[in-house]
Amino acid sequence: MEGRCVMRIEDDIKLDYCDVLIRPKRSILESRKDVELYRTFKFKNGKSWTGVPIVASNMDTIGTLEMGEVLSQFHMLTCLSKHIENYPDDDSYKNRNMALSFGMGEQDEHSLLSSDGALVTRSYAEHKPFFCLDVANGYSQRFIDFVKNVRDKWPDKILIAGNVVTSEMTEALLLAGADIIKIGIGPGSVCTTRKVAGVGFPQLSAVMECADAAHGLGGYIMADGGCQSPGDVSKAFGAGADFVMLGGLLAGHDECEGDVVDVDGEAYKRFYGMSSNTAMEKHSGGVATYRASEGKTVQVKYRGPVEDTIKQILGGVRSACTYTGARTLKQLPKCTTFVRVNRQLNTIFGNE
């Protein structure tokens, strides 16, 4: 194995969402209400899904059953946290807009692949078309084999797999049996992988390159991380993302896990990355001696019901479509021209 890796530099410019704006174009659309945000996706196993392809992240504080219930009312998808312990039996939670999440640990493999696996939830899983196979580093051969094995065991499921940021691994995971590849290493608001490991890829460029690779094979991608505002969601779709996964934009709401706490007279809720000390203390008894924490824990100002934030995000995407002449969300990439900028916001009165 030694000697196969050779250091080199790719000197072409890679961009994040903050490096660009979407150029407006002449349009015949008269109103934001004329924009259709619903998309119908058809997958290789014959399954299909119709909805607004904005997704709540499978983080502890975000991918809750309560979040799933609200997003489902907007026909949006929630990837439930894999650490949910008690799944309710009533029919209201068996909707098609929630995905079950799994890692690659011993318990996950047993639940998914063993003939006697106690899949949480086996009855609950039958009602969920989506499985999200989620690891921080999707570049291992073991993960490719894992995806293949899950596809063999569950041929009727729509498989989301990641995370990766390059075209060759997007292709490898699609060929292994995944339907949607999750794109993003390091762009999240509570992810510190770029700082701790020095590894990552600017998110806008990652989305563009991986979308091109996926669409050539009849697959899809889900941009995961890096959206700081509704405008970034529009940029992700404009760059070719089929789905956009959100964490920080949905943090701090009633539907998030955790209590509201008072800090110097202001209300906050806790939000943390899934590779943070907080998450590893909670689920693994601490940070293993062979690894470092690659996430942080923050207090986010309490924001009330998530419904208001969802409406703001959807309104922003509709506005981007009207500015570019895209009558449907699916048309947005074809109507998008990005312009590189040195500054995109006037912050004289703050960043709000």
- For the stretch 258-315, pLDDT in tens is 999 999 999 999 998 888 888 778 777 777 777 777 878 999 999 999 999 999 999 9
| Each residue's pLDDT tens digit, 326-340 | 999 999 999 999 999
Selected catalytic residue, list 18, 79, 132, 191: 191
Q: Is the peptide bond before 163 cis (omega within 30 degrees of 0)?
A: yes
| Each residue's pLDDT tens digit, 186-210 | 999 999 888 999 999 999 999 999 9
Q: Which band of pLDDT confidence, cut at 50, 70 and 90, is reported for residue 90?
A: low
What pTM was computed for the model? 0.93
| Each residue's pLDDT tens digit, 213-230 | 999 999 999 999 999 999
Sheet holding 261-263, edge to edge: 261-263, 266-272, 297-301
Q: Which band of pLDDT confidence, cut at 50, 70 and 90, is reported for residue 155?
A: very high
pLDDT computed for residue 150 by the predictor: 94
**Alpha carbons within 13 A on the beta-carbon side of 312:** 13
% of residues, the chain, pLDDT over 90: 72
Of all residues in the chain, what percent are helix, strand and coil, respectively (each to 5)?
35, 20, 45
According to DSSP, the β-strands at 130-134 and 98-102 are parallel
Q: Which band of pLDDT confidence, cut at 50, 70 and 90, is reported for residue 89?
A: low
**Closest C-alpha among 165, 205, 169, 167 to residue 186:** 165
pLDDT computed for residue 289 by the predictor: 72
Q: Please say if the pLDDT value at position 118 is more than 60.
A: no
% of residues, the chain, pLDDT over 70: 93
Mean pLDDT over residues 170-176, rounded?
98
pLDDT computed for residue 116 by the predictor: 58
Dihedral over Cα of 312, 313, 314, 315: its sign: positive
> CB-based burial of residue 231 (10 Å sphere; 0-12 exposed, 13-18 middle, 19+ buried)?
buried
| Each residue's pLDDT tens digit, 236-254 | 999 999 999 999 999 999 9
Average the pLDDT over each of 48-52, 124-128, 292-296 and give the range with the smallest value. Answer: 124-128
pLDDT computed for residue 3 by the predictor: 57
pLDDT computed for residue 99 by the predictor: 93
191 is catalytic: yes
Q: Which band of pLDDT confidence, cut at 50, 70 and 90, is reported for residue 58?
A: very high
Q: Which band of pLDDT confidence, cut at 50, 70 and 90, is reported for residue 5?
A: confident
Which DSSP helix (H) or strand (E) runs through 180?
strand 180-183
Average the pLDDT over each of 19-33, 80-94, 112-126, 167-181 and give the range with the smallest value. Answer: 112-126
pLDDT computed for residue 285 by the predictor: 74
State the Cα torsion 268-273-277-283 to the nearest 10°.
100
Strand partners, 130: 99, 158
What the chain holds in terms of domains, given with CATH numbers, is: 43-340 (3.20.20.70)
pLDDT computed for residue 139 by the predictor: 97
Q: Please say if the pLDDT value at position 93 is more than 70.
A: no
Can you read off the two tokens belonging to residue 203? 């998110």
How many C-beta neighbours within 10 Å does residue 330 have? 17
CA–CA gap between residue 319 and residue 38 (Å, rounded)? 15
